[in-house]
Amino acid sequence: MAQEYSKDGADSVESPRPFLSRSQPSIHPGLHPSVTDVPVTPAIDNSAYQSGSSGADESYFTRNIHKGGNNTMAPQSPTEAASGATSNQDILRRMSMGSPKMQRKDSLFEIDPRAANPSLSLSGGMISATFCIPYSLKYRKGQAWGLTSRRGTSALFDSFTYLSSDKTPWNHTLVGWTGEIDNSVDLTPPDTPPAAGPAQVVPLNKNSAPIPVDAFAQPAAPAQADGIHISQADKKQLERQLAHEKSGRTIPVWLADNVESDGDGDITLKDQARWRRFAESELYTLFHYKQHEPTNGRAERQAWADYYRMNQMFANRILEVYKPGDIVMIHDYHLLLLPSMLRQRVPHMYISFFLHIPFPSSEFLRCLPRRKDVLEGVLGANLIGFQSYSYSRHFVSCCTRVLGFPSDSDGVDAYGAKVTVCVFPIGIDAATIERLAFDDPGVDGKVAALREMYKGKKVIVGRDRLDTVRGVAQKLMAFETFLERYPEWREKVVLIQVTSPTSVEEEKEDSGNKIANKVAELVAKINGLYGSLGFSPVQHYPQYLSQEEYLALLRVADIGLITSTRDGMNTTSLEYVVCQRDDHGPLILSEFSGTAGSLKDAIHINPWDLSGVAHQIDAALSMSEELKRAMHSNLYRHVTTKDVHSWSSSFIKRLFTVLGSHNATIATPLLDKAALVAQYRAAKKRLFMFDYDGTLTPIVGDPAAAVPSEKVIRTLTALAGDEQNAVWVISGRDQEFLGRYLGHIKNLGFSAEHGSFMRHPGSTVWENLAETFDMGWQKEVMACFQKYTELTPGSFIERKRCALTWHYRPSDPELGAHNARECQKELEKTVGKAWDVEVMAGKANLEVRPTFINKGEIAKRLVDSYGREVGQPPEFTMCLGDDFTDEDMFRALNRSHLPQEHVFSITVGASSKMTLAHWHLLEPADVISSIALLNGGETNVADLGPLSVIEGHIPDQMPGEHIPDEVPGDKL
């Protein structure tokens, strides 16, 4: 909720947000009279919260949305519900009516979520992160900033206002980018308001101008070559204004390169649109099933680096105000990496994420070069929400098909934790829309004017942004088909289509203006074929509408027509339902809209089926009043009860349910590559320990075929070539294999057979650490392995100097796994008790080795030896492995004396598992790209994002030797 502005004008932005202790003596926000003295739940009046009610039955929504419902008194207790009931079903029916007193007991969440969820140690604070703040900014040097409401995403902004109000118990803070800042100069002085503001656009009529013009404002000047310079004082001025806005506390994120900032906090903003470029050019288009032509990937690399760094700057800004126990809610596709970035730095943070646009099927997502980064970024959240079930199903499927993570209808298992996936169709502020539409004389006047203008005509209304996915062209073609096939409606029906400019960066760059030209051609064609000198069947207005004009248009409509080809949340459909409160006009809605799943009583159409759409237009125009009233009643009930307030509350409630059920589980976060690079550069002595199979190379069916690629060899060679690096490969492989494929790399150390043998960098001599140990156990193990080899076709035995391994990967998976369990039981009962050996189940193998030999002992020995070498431990230690044998290394590092911020223990692989490692990477390719960030090798596969975070800008040159792309548009 908004903080009060101090009289002395102190800068409260830098002061920490007040922490709400559990024993706070002051009145809780949820118990404030402004909350308890008004009805806060639909269909519950004041008598539910007050004793001695006056009996007033005032609805929560204006004009009593629920008027005409069942007025039967609800039972006040379970005993009263049972009294007079004729059956158990009757008791349940009575109790389900939800008496005010019983609902009051169940509404502890709304009053005090901390008391309702004591195990979560909530602070009472909530931080919402969205890409842009709700205001468009105008910069006036040395003066107050100009703030105007930002167009679009009104439902989302309404939810922030609701969470910041005293209707909720939350101390809410909104974090968002400033957006592109306008510094054009007004013709009139700032302190002299114009006679008519920008909101007073030309009224909607046949003679209206195609674009609204503000005669008092100068057109936006082209961007200055040297950017917009903003001083620290002006930044603080904006932060003060946003901190005390009546709609809630807002904290801006300033996006600029470090080279564009000076030591005094001043910044220079250049190419402001770059921060939205990757999201809107790559993600938005692909998520709406549109694919680019392939390129060499250079521009995408730059855009990705900006996207990565932008998410990192959001994380930094959030952590400036975060308190333990805060809830963090992240919104939409611009911030897909933010959940994991926050999880990396605060593992216990409570994080939810909601995607407001569609999520594509795996066939389309796989076309995105950064598909893994995007999915793993989102999986840092505890709860992920989508608009419709199909979007959530696509996401879960992608996590399994792209990442290999196990999943089900409830969510995704990722590294020992469950990420819950749910569907939450967002709503609108129905009460406010209804009040604005029906209680404003200005709207009433425009309604009367429009009805007079189109007297005797049926009015079909469409209002869309001029994006390709909004289906405006499909709508016009369907309307043309309707007029062709149903001639009885000619000159009796008019389509009023309003289009506003697109907000998507990708389509703003449509130099040929193809969409607008297509729409103009269709309008001209239809009016030419079916119009006359006195009548045009299509009235097209390419302009923004004022709020009054928009609501009036929705009120006079006989049909609302929405034909989007792919859409996340279409608020026009919901607003149309509210505005048709009295007239009950049918809603024709594309089945590809995100709202189609929740608006069951709308007329669903396929926008690509022009004949089908035309048929439904005719059916809607011919529909009886009784049917229209029945359909609209259900739609109206849904829209006014499942509003944006209900959406916010249900999303938060679900998050608490998830946190309560998985409170003790912490997922292994994705490797923080920026922290890795920063510590590497700060260290003078570094130790690297790599497993081989599944870490440097992928797991393959035949172990002999797991040879290192040229990329691996070049990367290890470059890394070991730095005299400050000690690089070791610690593997279960034998000496012969490691020496054959990697032995030629100078200064590379080896440990073979899980620590049985060591070969120091620069040496060719292998040290046998188990030469004094009795190997008589091998004869018994060999006999057991041979027995199960005969029982398992395709399996084979690998004999090492100090270990024996039975492989069954080529065998039938079920038979191999079954016989492996039986073999392990037999060995543990015999050899395991008679000898000092351990039986270990690996990935499609079973291995027996001496107990004192393991990778953990090697890791401990290496840390100690390098520490004694110069009198202090390594300042950077990186250890990577993929299976249970590598857990010994992670355990040894966790118990070591090394500072944990200097240690990067990383588990590799897509399996859902508990691990002692502090970080994770998905596959060997990610290992190579991460090493390339440090010291060369395959620099063209390195991720520019973390480097841009460290250096404060996109680096002009990567470390190491650049390898040209083999395929244009290859991995970024």
pLDDT in tens, 726-740: 999 999 888 999 999
Contact 59, 42 (CB under 8 A): yes
pLDDT at 902: 93
Concatenate the DSSP letters of all residues of 748-808 into one string.
EEEEEGGGTEEE-TT--PPEETTTTS--THHHHHHHHHHHHHHHSTT-EEEE-SS-EEEE-
Of 70-74, 228-232, 253-257, 396-400, minimum mean pLDDT range? 70-74
More confident residue, 375 or 841: 375
826's CB contacts (< 8 A; 6+ apart) are: 784
Number of domains observed in the structure of the chain: 5
pLDDT at 784: 94
pLDDT digits over 831-858, tens only? 888 888 889 888 788 989 887 778 898 9
Closest CA to 128 of 171, 169, 160: 160
Tell me, yes or no, whether 56 lies in a domain. Answer: no
Same domain for 628 and 727: no
Q: Is 522 left (phi over 0), alpha (psi -120 to 50) or beta?
A: alpha
208 has a pLDDT exceeding 50 = no
Tell me, yes or no, whether 70 lies in a domain. Answer: no
Tokens describing residue 382: 């505890």
Tell me, yes or no, whether 665 lies in a domain. Answer: no
105's CB contacts (< 8 A; 6+ apart) are: none
More confident residue, 377 or 9: 377
261 has a pLDDT exceeding 80 = no
Instruction: Indicate the helix (H) or strand (E) that contains 132.
Output: strand 125-132
Tell me, yes or no, whether 191 lies in a domain. Answer: no
Beta bridge partners of 552: none
Question: For position 780, which CATH number holds?
Answer: 3.30.70.1020
Tokens describing residue 737: 């294999």
Tell me, yes or no, whether 892 lies in a domain. Answer: yes
Tokens describing residue 955: 């680096």
Contact 467, 516 (CB under 8 A): no
Tokens 């995403």: give the residue.
Answer: 153
More confident residue, 291 or 261: 291
647 has a pLDDT exceeding 50 = yes
pLDDT at 827: 93
**What three-state secondary structure class fits 564?**
coil
Instruction: Indicate the helix (H) or strand (E) that contains 353.
Output: strand 350-354
pLDDT at 663: 58
More confident residue, 232 or 42: 232
Same domain for 705 and 579: no
Tell me, yes or no, whether 272 lies in a domain. Answer: yes
What separation in angstroms does the CA of 388 have from each of 229, 567, 645, 820?
A: 43, 11, 18, 44
pLDDT at 193: 47
Contact 342, 382 (CB under 8 A): no
More confident residue, 254 or 203: 254
Q: What residue type is 700 in one-letter code? A: V
Same domain for 290 and 403: yes
- Average pLDDT along the chain: 81
What separation in angstroms does the CA of 425 have from each of 154, 561, 670?
A: 15, 20, 29
The Cα–Cα gap between 532 and 64 comes to 45
pLDDT band, very low/low/confident/very high, at 4 (cuts 50, 70, 90): very low
Same domain for 841 and 796: yes
Give the domain-ending residue among 423, 448, 474. Answer: 423
Give the domain-ending residue among 849, 872, 898. Answer: 849
The DSSP bridge pattern shows strands 249-253 and 171-177 to be parallel
Domain region containing 828: 776-849
pLDDT at 291: 81
Same domain for 919 and 826: no
Query: Looking at the annotation, which residues are catalytic?
Result: 691
pLDDT digits over 68-120, tens only? 344 444 454 445 555 555 555 555 555 444 444 444 434 666 677 888 888 88
The Cα–Cα gap between 856 and 849 comes to 14
Q: Which of 115-129, 320-334, 796-810 has the highest mean pLDDT?
A: 320-334
Same domain for 286 and 360: yes
More confident residue, 127 or 167: 127
- Which string of b and e fits 370-387 if b means at least 16 CB within 10 Å? bbbbbbbbbbbbbbbbbb
Contact 463, 576 (CB under 8 A): no
Beta bridge partners of 499: 464, 542
What separation in angstroms does the CA of 158 have from each of 154, 163, 972?
A: 6, 9, 38
Of 191-200, 435-444, 563-572, 612-621, minimum mean pLDDT range? 191-200
Closest CA to 31 of 110, 123, 103: 110
pLDDT digits over 782-812, tens only? 999 999 999 999 999 988 777 899 999 889 9
658 has a pLDDT exceeding 70 = yes
The Cα–Cα gap between 265 and 630 comes to 61
673 has a pLDDT exceeding 70 = yes
Same domain for 906 and 761: yes
Beta bridge partners of 251: 175
The Cα–Cα gap between 702 and 693 comes to 11
pLDDT band, very low/low/confident/very high, at 512 (cuts 50, 70, 90): very low
The Cα–Cα gap between 153 and 130 comes to 11
Give the domain-ending residue among 396, 423, 450. Answer: 423
pLDDT at 411: 92
Question: For position 456, which CATH number holds?
Answer: 3.40.50.2000
Tell me, yes or no, whether 215 lies in a domain. Answer: no
pLDDT at 972: 37
Q: In this structure, is the dihedral angle defined by the CA atoms of residues 312, 316, 317 and 318, taken in order, positive or negative? A: positive
pLDDT at 1: 40
pLDDT digits over 447-482, tens only? 999 999 999 999 999 998 887 788 899 999 999 999
Share of the chain above pLDDT 90, in %: 48
Closest CA to 360 of 465, 471, 283, 467: 283
pLDDT band, very low/low/confident/very high, at 47 (cuts 50, 70, 90): very low
pLDDT band, very low/low/confident/very high, at 911 (cuts 50, 70, 90): low
Same domain for 922 and 873: yes
Tell me, yes or no, whether 839 lies in a domain. Answer: yes
What separation in angstroms does the CA of 642 have from each of 435, 599, 655?
A: 17, 11, 18
Same domain for 305 and 165: yes
pLDDT at 26: 40
Same domain for 806 and 689: no
More confident residue, 755 or 330: 330
The Cα–Cα gap between 11 and 116 comes to 35
Same domain for 378 and 259: yes
Same domain for 845 and 860: no
